[in-house]
Amino acid sequence: MFLNAQEVRDLTGRQRVTAQAKALDSMGIPYRRRPDGTLAVLRTAVEAILGGDTITPKAASAKSEPKVRPPVDDGRVHPWDYAKGRKKKKG
């Protein structure tokens, strides 16, 4: 429901409550000051303002394969052909 003290420090990059309040104001994130002086920041407000769309576990675990072009046999000999053992050096 609310960010804990460490999350507020991580979000603002500030240790002192007054500096945290200034940072939250500059980001446009609403907060309330608690009776003990700490800040109460709603997690949903942070997600709404910073665009915290939730990632589904399926999307998070999906790994994309690198896009690699298949080799083209254009008749030329390339240095990597020797390294892969595809062609033998002449001479």
Is 22 domain-assigned?
yes
Residue pair 39/8 in contact by the 8 Å Cβ criterion: yes
Q: Calculate the average pLDDT of the chain.
A: 80
From 33, 9, 31, 29, select the one nearest 20 (Cα to Cα): 9
Structural domain tally of the chain? 1
Is 66 domain-assigned?
no
Residues 3-43: tens digit of each pLDDT: 999 999 999 999 999 999 999 999 999 999 999 999 999 99
> pTM to 2 decimals?
0.56
Query: b/e map of 24-57 (b: 16 or more CB within 10 Å)?
Result: beeeebebeeeeeeebebeeebbeeeeeeeeeee
List the single range of 23-32, 52-61, 71-80, 81-90 with lowest mean pLDDT: 52-61
Range of the domain at 44: 5-53
